[in-house]
Amino acid sequence: MESKRVILVMASTVAACVSTAFAATAYINQVGYRPADPKELSLVEGSGDVEIQDASGNTVLTATPKAASVWDASGQNVQLVDFSELKEPGKYSVKVGGNVVRGDLVVKEETYKDVFKAAAKWFYYQRASMALEEQYAGKWARAAGHLDDNVQFHNSTGASGSISSPKGWYDAGDYGKYIVNSGITTYTLLSLYEHFPEYFKTLKWNIPADGQLPDLLAEIKYNLDWMLTMQASDGTVYHKLTALGFPGDVMPAQDSDARYVIGKSAEAAFDFAGVMALASRIYKPFDASYASKCLEAAKKAYTWASSNMNVHFKANPAGVSTGTYEGSDASDEKLFAGTELAITTGDASYKQSGSSANISYWGDMSGVATYGKATHASVFSDAEEAKQKVLSTADKFVERTQTGFGVVMSKEDFVWGSNAAASNQGIWLLHAYYLTGDQKYYTAAVQALNYLLGKNPLDMSFVTGFGSKSPMMPHHRPSTADGVEEPVPGMLVGGPQPGGEDVGSAAEWKCADYRTGFAATAYTDQRCSYATNEVAINWNAPLAYLAGALEALNAGYAPDFAVEGVARAAGKVAPESSASVGQSSSSVAPVSSSSNGSGIDPVSSSSVEVSGIRKVAPAATAHDAPAILRMKGGKLFVEKGGCRFDLMGNRVR
């Protein structure tokens, strides 16, 4: 049986009796909410209504929490609170049971524009082979590293000698460059541009200019240029360019390990082909010769891979220990490449059968092929089938947001890079929204971003530099080695997952066990945690898509394939409220007897157990009366601020 736990809040003295002794936590999107958007917070250990107060302390909205339900990913008993009626831009406090539990609630327009810009700008910070100048990089300026102008072929390629393979983005916290992971990353960023060209044509975020290219396309081209170098004249695409092992915690310029082009694979070649086919139609209006170069490269890679379907990179060759991005079945990559080539060329011979109801990640590209088909009904006879798959998965995602923590994530989604799963779920929902105009998909997509920016059981934004609390010690070599306190901004960390692959005893590279028994809280903000706190291009790209697309939609843009009414001119669209009618908290005990069960204190991490009762050290929030435990007539009571409460939080005197 689970022991009863009660949270007692201790702090400085206040004279007045306050109405609750319990430390509720309200989890919010810490970056903010758009005035016209649906708005929700997740409440744990709450009691009674939630009040929202403006900067002058006036209550501007009172919201009744919905009935509580348990989220098995965190073990918390959660009440969802709809406060969509709060539409006036400003900074607000959240009061629960009469206590201010947080003061960082923001409502503003263009809410995620800076998040988008930072997420996109991070790709600039990841550029190999060039110095980052102070005028662009500020305090994160650094010398050039990894010129990669004379890279040896590893014998796993079957080639000999060396090639020049400069530019491209570092994959993650390491300095490797991997075609498979570049594939889904570059696809995601290109598709953002393709869906909202007019919006992204003019949006800028202080990166070096590349001719007349919009910033988004200038950034992407830096990686396309590298990818193109990874193709041999017969169409072969090499799998990766890395050293034999991961470097130490050094800046790029200090990494002197020899680098190699390693392996080749059908997966890499199809990923390359799909990306180049997409790039070809996007760059055409800006640079027709670059576009045809991309298309020729795409066709050659596709042809090579189609006759080498059994060439896989299943594991590292002996003596190599960098990332694998392994594969043993290239049919999903072929589906992606064939779909993009068919769209670009109109050549029906590229069409592949099938689509998928699963969101993509680097190891499964069938979901993005589904997007391609569903959004090009004039090209694919099975577009409707693809659309139905988008909608059936999206419906399941919407359903998940109705209970538990009010997020799309489920327990099973907490894999290595869980935050990318959350971002890609948001993108999937946006596709459902584009295809139907149904507000419920938009609302759930916003929920996906809410999760990433603070409405999660860790009560933190997973994007460096954004929100009241965000990662400070990501597994990212430049952020560790640059001597700058703040990590490079705009990075989405991998996020919680229970695998604990980085838990162990070798102090420098391994972490003490940070797992909690719950998937959604198995996370540590430490440099050692490559399994929960690394950053990666394939995780940042979907964050950039999600934040960027939400901004573009709200600036009045919509993809050309979208149904009427998808664009949301700021303030003009009244989104469906996520409020559910007729539910109230009245039947719900104000304090969960099991606390959150996760070992994570929702208010402060500094708590102590006293005879099975957990005392919480003063939180930054205003629970400021000392709480004293008293035994009276064989019963335990809590005295606080002149009031007495029973252990369920009910005031008894």
The residues annotated as belonging to the active site are: 174, 475, 525, 534
Q: Which of 332, 534, 551, 639 binds ligand 9MR (CB under 6 A)?
A: 534
Q: How far is the CB of 171 from ligand 9MR (least distance, A)?
A: 5
Q: Between 282 and 321, how does the x/- string for binding to ligand 9MR read (CB under 6 A)? A: ----------------------------------------
Q: How far is the CB of 276 from ligand 9MR (least distance, A)?
A: 22
Q: Which residue, 229 or 532, has its beta carbon nearer to ligand 9MR?
A: 532
Amino acid making up residue 125: Y
The two three-digit tokens of residue 124, written as one number = 């600039």
Q: Which residue, 166 or 323, has its beta carbon nearer to ligand 9MR?
A: 323
Is residue 71 within 8 A of residue 405, CB to CB? The reply is yes
User: Rounded to an integer, what distance in angstroms lies between the CA atom of residue 272 and that of residue 231?
Assistant: 9
User: Rounded to an integer, what distance in angstroms lies between the CA atom of residue 49 and that of residue 43?
Assistant: 11
In angstroms, the Cα distances linking 110 to 18, 125, 142 are: 38, 24, 31
Q: Which of 417, 487, 496, 602 binds ligand 9MR (CB under 6 A)?
A: 417
Span interacting with ligand 9MR, options 167-175, 294-302, 515-523, 625-633, rule CB under 6 A: 167-175
Q: Which residue, 172 or 179, has its beta carbon nearer to ligand 9MR?
A: 172
Q: How far is the CB of 534 from ligand 9MR (least distance, A)?
A: 4
Q: Between 317 and 356, how does the x/- string for binding to ligand 9MR read (CB under 6 A)? A: ------xx--------------------------------
Q: How far is the CB of 251 from ligand 9MR (least distance, A)?
A: 17
Q: How far is the CB of 322 from ligand 9MR (least distance, A)?
A: 7
Strands (E), 244-368: 259-264
User: Rounded to an integer, what distance in angstroms lies between the CA atom of residue 153 and that of residue 158?
Assistant: 8
Look-up of token digits 């995601």 = 188
User: Rounded to an integer, what distance in angstroms lies between the CA atom of residue 219 and that of residue 210?
Assistant: 9
Q: Which residue, 2 or 412, has its beta carbon nearer to ligand 9MR?
A: 412
Span interacting with ligand 9MR, options 166-174, 308-316, 483-491, 560-568, rule CB under 6 A: 166-174
**In this structure, how many other beta carbons lie within 10 angstroms of the beta carbon of residue 135?**
9
Q: Which residue, 156 or 443, has its beta carbon nearer to ligand 9MR?
A: 156
Q: How far is the CB of 390 from ligand 9MR (least distance, A)?
A: 23
Q: Which residue, 61 or 172, has its beta carbon nearer to ligand 9MR?
A: 172
Determine the length of the chain. 653
Amino acid making up residue 393: T
Look-up of token digits 């965190």 = 74
Is residue 452 within 8 A of residue 422, CB to CB? The reply is yes
Q: Which residue is nearest to ligand 9MR (CB)?
A: 323
Q: Which of 136, 153, 286, 416 binds ligand 9MR (CB under 6 A)?
A: 416
Q: Does 172 bind ligand 9MR (CB under 6 A)?
A: yes
- Taking alpha carbons only, the member of 372, 305, 361, 307 closest to residue 339 is 372
Tell me how many residues contact ligand 9MR (CB under 6 A).
Answer: 11
Q: Does 267 bind ligand 9MR (CB under 6 A)?
A: no
Look-up of token digits 């009241």 = 468
Q: Which residue, 107 or 243, has its beta carbon nearer to ligand 9MR?
A: 243
The two three-digit tokens of residue 485, written as one number = 């306190």
Q: Which of 114, 148, 171, 413 binds ligand 9MR (CB under 6 A)?
A: 171
Q: Which of 49, 174, 267, 333 binds ligand 9MR (CB under 6 A)?
A: 174
Q: Which residue, 40 or 502, has its beta carbon nearer to ligand 9MR?
A: 502
User: Rounded to an integer, what distance in angstroms lies between the CA atom of residue 572 and that of residue 258?
Assistant: 57
- Taking alpha carbons only, the member of 338, 380, 496, 359 closest to residue 430 is 359
Q: Which residue, 51 or 148, has its beta carbon nearer to ligand 9MR?
A: 148
The two three-digit tokens of residue 263, written as one number = 């392996």
Find the helix or strand (DSSP H, E) in which 383 lies: helix 383-400
User: Rounded to an integer, what distance in angstroms lies between the CA atom of residue 191 and that of residue 197?
Assistant: 10
Q: How far is the CB of 627 from ligand 9MR (least distance, A)?
A: 43
Using CB under 6 A, which residues numbered 492 to 531 contact ligand 9MR?
530
Amino acid making up residue 24: A
The two three-digit tokens of residue 317, written as one number = 């060759």
Q: How far is the CB of 76 from ligand 9MR (least distance, A)?
A: 26
Residues 6+ apart with CB under 8 A from 394: 428, 429, 431, 432, 441, 444
Is residue 455 within 8 A of residue 28, CB to CB? The reply is yes
Span interacting with ligand 9MR, options 116-124, 160-168, 169-177, 297-305, rule CB under 6 A: 169-177
- Dihedral pair phi/psi, residue 289, rounded to 5°: -75, -35
Strands (E), 180-309: 238-243, 259-264
User: Rounded to an integer, what distance in angstroms lies between the CA atom of residue 546 and that of residue 558?
Assistant: 14
Q: Does 590 bind ligand 9MR (CB under 6 A)?
A: no
DSSP SS3 for 51: strand
Residues facing 636 on adjacent strands: 631
Residues 6+ apart with CB under 8 A from 96: 20, 24, 26, 43, 46, 47, 48, 50, 51
Q: Which residue, 172 or 341, has its beta carbon nearer to ligand 9MR?
A: 172
Q: Which of 180, 458, 536, 544 binds ligand 9MR (CB under 6 A)?
A: 536
Between strands 613-616 and 607-610, the pairing is antiparallel
Q: Which residue, 197 or 474, has its beta carbon nearer to ligand 9MR?
A: 474
Q: How far is the CB of 491 from ligand 9MR (least distance, A)?
A: 12
Q: How far is the CB of 321 from ligand 9MR (least distance, A)?
A: 10
Span interacting with ligand 9MR, options 159-167, 172-180, 391-399, 448-456, rule CB under 6 A: 172-180
DSSP SS3 for 643: strand
User: Rounded to an integer, what distance in angstroms lies between the CA atom of residue 628 and that of residue 625?
Assistant: 10
Q: How far is the CB of 416 from ligand 9MR (least distance, A)?
A: 4
Span interacting with ligand 9MR, options 171-179, 506-514, 541-549, 581-589, rule CB under 6 A: 171-179
Name the site residues for ligand 9MR (rule: CB under 6 A): 171-172, 174, 176, 323-324, 416-417, 530, 534, 536
